[in-house]
Amino acid sequence: MKSIEIELLGRKYFFRSDNPEKLQETARYLESQLEELNSRFNTVDQNKLFVLYALMITEKYLSTIENNKELNKEFEQITNMLNNQVLENEA
C-alpha cells in the first residue's frame, strides 16, 4: 500500500491505497461535487456539505437498489417466457 495525500475543500487527508491513481481520480470527482454543492447552498460549514453529499449518494444508492430489484424481476419474467417457449417448441 502506498500513502497518499488528498485535499478536499482546502483540508488535507492522508490515506493508504493499493491504487493511488484511482483514489486521486475519485477525490477529484468528490471535490468537484462538493464545490458544486457549496455554490448551490453557499455554506462554509464543510461538515454540512459532507453530510449533504452523503445523503445524496445514499439516496442514489437506495434508488439504484430498487431499480435493480425491478430489473431482476423483469429479467426473471423474460427468462421464464423464453424457457416456456423453448419447452413448447421441443414438444
- Is the pTM of the predicted complex or chain greater than 0.75? no
Cα dihedral 14, 15, 16, 20 in deg (nearest 10): -100
Q: How many domains does the chain have?
A: 1
Mean pLDDT of 71-90: 93
Domain that holds residue 46: 2-90
d(CA 47, CA 81): 51
Q: What tens digit of pLDDT does each residue of 6-43 get?
A: 999 889 999 999 999 999 999 999 999 999 999 888 87
Counting residues of the chain whose pLDDT is more than 70, the rounded percentage is: 99
28 in Cβ contact with 6 (< 8 Å): no
27 in Cβ contact with 8 (< 8 Å): yes
Please list, residue by residue across 50-65, b when 16 or more beta carbons sit within 10 angstroms of its beta carbon and e when fewer do: eebbeeeeeeeeeeee
